[in-house]
Structure 1
Amino acid sequence: MGEKINPELELAINSDAYTPGSNLYLGYDKTRDEWTLIIRHSGEIDDLEGTLVNESVYLLGGFAVIKIYTYNIYYLQLDPRILYIDKASYYSYGAERGTTASEQNTYARYAACLTDSQVGVMPVYGDGVCIGVIDSGLDIRNEEFCRDGRTRLLRYWNQNQNYENESGNRYMMGRIYDREELDELIAKGRNTGDVISTHGAEVTSIAAGSSLGAAKMADLIMVEQRLEGIFPDTISIMFGIDFLVRYSMNENVPLVINLSYGNNYGAHDGTGMLENFIDVVSRMAKINVVTGTGNDGNKRLHTSGILGNVSFDDLNIDVTGGVRNFGIQIWKNYIDNFDVLVYSPAYDIVLYLTEGQLPANGRFGSTHVYGIYQPPTPFNVQQLIYIFFQADTYIDEGVWKVRIMPKSIVNGTYNAYLPSDAYITGRVEFESANAFGSLTIPATSQSVISAASYDQNRDAFVGFSGRGFTSDNRIKPDIAAPGVGIVAAAGISDLTVVDGTSISAAFVSGAAALLMEWGIVRGNDPFMYGEKLKAQLIKGARQIETIRQYPNRYVGWGTLCVERSFEGL
């Protein structure tokens, strides 16, 4: 079709491989032959609606979400104002059930230098700062999110509710409640809806809970991300970010966005659509975006290598346990030229890919294999080879071999990624994996504060935490924060114990709100946001004694210590 189109989307359109629930067709409505897609554009494109485009939602920074019939996608990419057409991807939480029991998380806050005595020289609690959480939602009746008989939530966007015009919003999704409406619901003993997961309450209580949180006085906004329906997760995340940035701009309020999601789709060099969107809108307001590095450090979902001109490399993928579909991405330097062969567990050649070839497909048993060899895009010098495995029942178990055959190698470096096991059944992993480079996206974004986890009880890094650096060798993670055995809020009044980089990101979000209060709200430094705030957190980072070299791939510049970040201010 063209270099402006996401290769996964192009493969889906050309392969005629539609199966309900397939990851390849996320965002596709077969009954209407219509896609919900993300575009980046230049200038006004209102005239496209009603001709090539069925519906449009315009976002900040030259991005938009559109609905478009399949046959119009080719003509859309011919318009010079359209810079890129992308397909949405799944994202998963960066938290897991904790294995450590505890009555309270005082020590974790102490390790992050967040107790009242540690920041007592500059008593700040996040007053006048807003923390926006894009997550699974929470129960508004929980006392962790109330103060003086009122909710601390200024807005609650439930993206899972049915959209109604009379209470409409520019995104045409869900229902947005203001503070007065939330207080009325609480008075009636009601919530905004059924909350499927406690993850949103967990991270919000750690960042800003009235008793558990780092920024106890911060105002809150919750964006309960849509989990099902025609709007895939990437789109609902971008909607949430756009909504929060607009709030910060319109109300002139410093704001921290806590985004505890991640996935493996992309080059891991900051050039993906979501990463670009975050980088662009982060410069529009007094905000900071904080995200975890993901929990894939020990999950065998990333591998890499350096290819020579003589020998080939084999990427062996172990598939077990009733897997219906998955994709593998191989990213390489465009200057290198190699072919890719896919072998079945019986060692039959199922697929052959070479540069310049049209999308191809093959079959072994009940498994269909589709592949595309994509040239560089306008936003990425790296080249993607994408291979998708799918079966009507289950993919044939065993070791599938993806062989890289060199033709002309100059650089030789490549990275390969499998999807997070959070959104596939069964188990898919590389036999030979590389934990370095296991950061999830958008932790690879330039502008975000990327938070890894460490075990504050042992003062050591943990195996599950995603590790750097980025594929273009930038330093990520930026910092680490407590992430093991943390007590958090759940439900109306329950407590739970959790691990994960989501929790670490929440600590960093709370810490960012404290610095914003001191700088922006109190007038000590009106520029305490963005890269300056990130630098202040890094400056205060504490080194783990068992790790000698800094910055490093495990904890970045060190572990969060808010007390030291305030020194010298």
Structure 2
Amino acid sequence: MTELERFKIMDENYADLVIENAEWEQYQAIQDISYLPLNNEYSILYIPVENMTYNAVYEFGYTAIPKCYGLMYSESDKIDESYYVHSNTEIDLRGNGVLIGFVDGGIDYRNPVFQNLDKTTRIVSIWDQSIENFGGYPEGFYYGTEFTKEQINQALMSENPLEVVPSIELSGQGSAMAGIAAGYAMETFRYSGIAPESELVIVKLKAAKSYLKTYFGIPEDTLTYQENDVMLGIKYLIETADRLQRPIVICIGLGSWQGSHKGEDIISKYISQLSTRQGVAVSVGSGEEGNRGNHFYDEILKEEDYRLVELNVSPNESFTMELWGFSPNILTVDIIAPNGSLVYQMKEVIIQENTIPVVYNNTSIFIDNRLQEPFAGDQLIMMRFFNMEEGVWRFRVKGHYKLEERFHIWLPIHQYISNGTFFLLPNMYTTISIPGNTTNLITVTAYNPIDQELYYYASRGYTKSFEVKPDITAPGVNMVAPIRRAEFESFTGTSMAAAYVAGISALLLEWGVVRRNLPSMNCTFIRYLLTRYAQRNDRIDWPNPNWGFGIVEDDIKQYLNRE
């Protein structure tokens, strides 16, 4: 990547690909191509968007096309019935010397909870990927603008802060998460984050490119982010921590439905490698898809020829649906319209050479059948629907060798489809959003600490490969959190629970790494502590796909005394 090429990162006339570096040679024939290295294993390519045809999966591979990520929260109505986070004043751990990094929609740096008593900022830096030509981008990243602590302090002292640092947040989730994890104590509002003396590093993601939303049938007006921007955001957090020689907790409040749900996709592998490093912890929300009706699971019995899947569809709906099988069996799918017409009958093939386009009245369907998706090793049938006819669509899923004839089907996360599109016989389990299926990070689900009930929409485990996820349960329902300026609102979501655990992880890193009690502490060990000492009800079997290993123990003394 050069200075003359960097415009392609933001330009809608260029498409993005995420590739393994070993595959670089097969792309060199593409004209007008640029690449940005991520690490020794992966790079991001920028190619003219006309190369992204309907047949892109067979041109570039399923894993190369960036997946789309959405936020994991909702705003609550009544703040007087909400839960107030407080730091534990009985211990002398406050997160001092530890960074907490967020890859999200940004932060409102003007809120006092992100400032010290002298009104200076507790934010080390903000990389706003969406702002171009305002200042310098981070070295080696080639897009966006990096705002330093000095610039943020200058903004806070000015009459119009946004004229100095014009980075704003649209959703409120990023500020809420940062406040729960690390908000500074405000006696006037009886508020404090879990680790109020930690410092923050913020990545505000740029919006996904329009061509990618169109390709996957995602509504243009939704807040959507690209996999490659998320990965670069994580890289920025790690490099900032390395430069400052500080431990860091990375908190991710984003999720996707796209992938095998085994933790075998590119972003999961990338995060998994980082989370084994000394002084690094990663906390991610489990997702919001548990009771949305957007997951189906079943098994074709030996005496059956097929299993019928019924999907109610709202009028003119567009979306991408993924069916994942279990190797080595081969599945095929017949598609039946609401009036009973057979729209498409899939053939049993070992290698499908091209995307199959299907037209039925005003509905267009593009079908990709990957017998063995390289990273996951299982069959993937991806169906992209556009302008679907209203009614109940039926899918006959057939197995052909009587081997492991189980399968999952995932619809998009709920922000990307209407409430009227759902499976008639859904399954709430195996709905952990990606990257929450990754083994080495801490996957957090949410509960209401007031009534002790699990969050109704929380995604459930386990993973597709039956590994235990979520790991832990934390407060995440009706959480009072900061938003604009000095304002507070009530938020609900597994992203809030992930922020809560990020704060606890920061306290543990202060004890282990900063104070040199256990300098080798990493995410794997923190995950071990959180799951081992979780609060568990004797009447429930543990672990389980709803609560994981139990409710997080937020009294840090319990960990330190026992260990």
TM bucket normalised to smaller? 0.7 to 0.9
Counterpart residue identity of residue 173, structure 2: H
1-side partners of 2:26 and 2:377: how far apart?
Answer: 31
1-side partners of 2:33 and 2:135: how far apart?
Answer: 18
Q: CA deviation at 1:544?
A: 3.9
The 5 Å alignment of 1:263-302 reads 263-284=256-277, 286-302=279-295
Q: CA deviation at 1:373?
A: 1.1
Q: 1:38 maps to which residue?
A: 18
Residues 103 and 71 (structure 1), Cα distance of their counterparts in 2 relative to 1, 3 Å cut:
closer
Counterpart residue identity of residue 383, structure 2: I
Q: 2:377 maps to which residue?
A: 381
The size of the alignment, in residue pairs, is 523
CA distances 1:462-521 after superposition (whole Å, capped 9, x unpaired): 321111000100010000001111100010111101111011001000000000001110
Q: CA deviation at 1:370?
A: 1.5
2-side partners of 1:259 and 1:51: how far apart?
Answer: 34
Q: 1:560 maps to which residue?
A: 552
Q: 2:323 maps to which residue?
A: 330
CA distances 1:69-106 after superposition (whole Å, capped 9, x unpaired): 478899x9999xx9985111221111111244337734
Do residues 440 (structure 1) and 455 (structure 2) align? no
**Equivalent residue for 1:362, pick from 358, 365, 371:** 358
The alignment partner of 1:561 has SS state of coil
**Equivalent residue for 1:475, pick from 468, 476, 489:** 468
Counterpart residue identity of residue 312, structure 2: D
The alignment partner of 2:436 has SS state of coil
CA distances 1:330-355 after superposition (whole Å, capped 9, x unpaired): 11123212321011111111122233
Counterpart residue identity of residue 376, structure 2: N
1-side partners of 2:208 and 2:368: how far apart?
Answer: 28
Q: CA deviation at 1:282?
A: 2.5
Q: 1:23 maps to which residue?
A: none
2-side partners of 1:441 and 1:257: how far apart?
Answer: 15
The 5 Å alignment of 1:80-119 reads 86-102=64-80, 105-106=83-84, 109=86, 115-117=88-90
Preserved CA contact (<8 Å) 1:41 1:84: no
Q: 1:4 maps to which residue?
A: none
Q: CA deviation at 1:51?
A: 6.6
1-side partners of 2:256 and 2:288: how far apart?
Answer: 10
Residues 165 and 176 (structure 1), Cα distance of their counterparts in 2 relative to 1, 3 Å cut:
closer
Q: 1:193 maps to which residue?
A: 167
**Equivalent residue for 1:218, pick from 184, 189, 198:** 198
TM-score (norm 2): 0.87
**Equivalent residue for 1:501, pick from 494, 515, 519:** 494
Counterpart residue identity of residue 529, structure 1: N
Do residues 65 (structure 1) and 44 (structure 2) align? yes
The alignment partner of 1:102 has SS state of helix
Q: CA deviation at 1:406?
A: 2.6
Preserved CA contact (<8 Å) 1:460 1:544: no
Residues 280 and 507 (structure 1), Cα distance of their counterparts in 2 relative to 1, 3 Å cut:
same
> Sequence identity, in percent?
23
Comparing 400-409 with 131-140, which one deviates more in the overlay? 400-409
Preserved CA contact (<8 Å) 1:351 1:369: no
1-side partners of 2:464 and 2:201: how far apart?
Answer: 33
Q: CA deviation at 1:166?
A: 5.1
Q: 1:490 maps to which residue?
A: 483
Residues 29 and 331 (structure 1), Cα distance of their counterparts in 2 relative to 1, 3 Å cut:
farther
Q: 2:403 maps to which residue?
A: 410
1-side partners of 2:291 and 2:26: how far apart?
Answer: 49
Preserved CA contact (<8 Å) 1:248 1:285: no
Q: CA deviation at 1:167?
A: 4.8
2-side partners of 1:28 and 1:489: how far apart?
Answer: 30
The alignment partner of 2:331 has SS state of strand
Preserved CA contact (<8 Å) 2:195 2:503: yes
Counterpart residue identity of residue 130, structure 1: L
Comparing 295-304 with 426-435, which one deviates more in the overlay? 426-435
2-side partners of 1:515 and 1:457: how far apart?
Answer: 25
Preserved CA contact (<8 Å) 2:479 2:491: yes
Q: CA deviation at 1:170?
A: 2.1
2-side partners of 1:275 and 1:167: how far apart?
Answer: 26
User: Mind listing any 5+ residue stretches in structure 1 that lack a counterpart?
Assistant: 1-26
Preserved CA contact (<8 Å) 1:100 1:484: no
Residues 100 and 561 (structure 1), Cα distance of their counterparts in 2 relative to 1, 3 Å cut:
farther
2-side partners of 1:178 and 1:165: how far apart?
Answer: 11
Q: CA deviation at 1:535?
A: 0.7
1-side partners of 2:448 and 2:368: how far apart?
Answer: 42
Counterpart residue identity of residue 447, structure 1: N
Preserved CA contact (<8 Å) 2:18 2:43: yes
1-side partners of 2:554 and 2:422: how far apart?
Answer: 38
**Equivalent residue for 2:235, pick from 234, 239, 242:** 242
1-side partners of 2:82 and 2:331: how far apart?
Answer: 55
Comparing 361-370 with 442-451, which one deviates more in the overlay? 361-370
Q: 1:145 maps to which residue?
A: 114
Q: 2:219 maps to which residue?
A: none
The 5 Å alignment of 1:295-310 reads 295-310=288-303
Q: CA deviation at 1:407?
A: 2.1
2-side partners of 1:329 and 1:420: how far apart?
Answer: 12
1-side partners of 2:28 and 2:154: how far apart?
Answer: 39
Preserved CA contact (<8 Å) 2:67 2:227: yes
CA distances 1:3-32 after superposition (whole Å, capped 9, x unpaired): xxxxxxxxxxxxxxxxxxxxxxxx9988x5
User: Mind listing any 5+ residue stretches in structure 2 that lack a counterpart?
Assistant: 1-8, 186-191, 213-224
Counterpart residue identity of residue 566, structure 1: L
1-side partners of 2:315 and 2:337: how far apart?
Answer: 17
RMSD of aligned Cα (Å): 2.8
Q: 2:307 maps to which residue?
A: 313
Q: CA deviation at 1:362?
A: 1.9
Comparing 185-194 with 503-512, which one deviates more in the overlay? 185-194
Preserved CA contact (<8 Å) 2:155 2:161: yes
Preserved CA contact (<8 Å) 2:136 2:146: no
1-side partners of 2:525 and 2:260: how far apart?
Answer: 27
Q: 1:54 maps to which residue?
A: 33
2-side partners of 1:51 and 1:362: how far apart?
Answer: 28
Q: CA deviation at 1:297?
A: 0.9
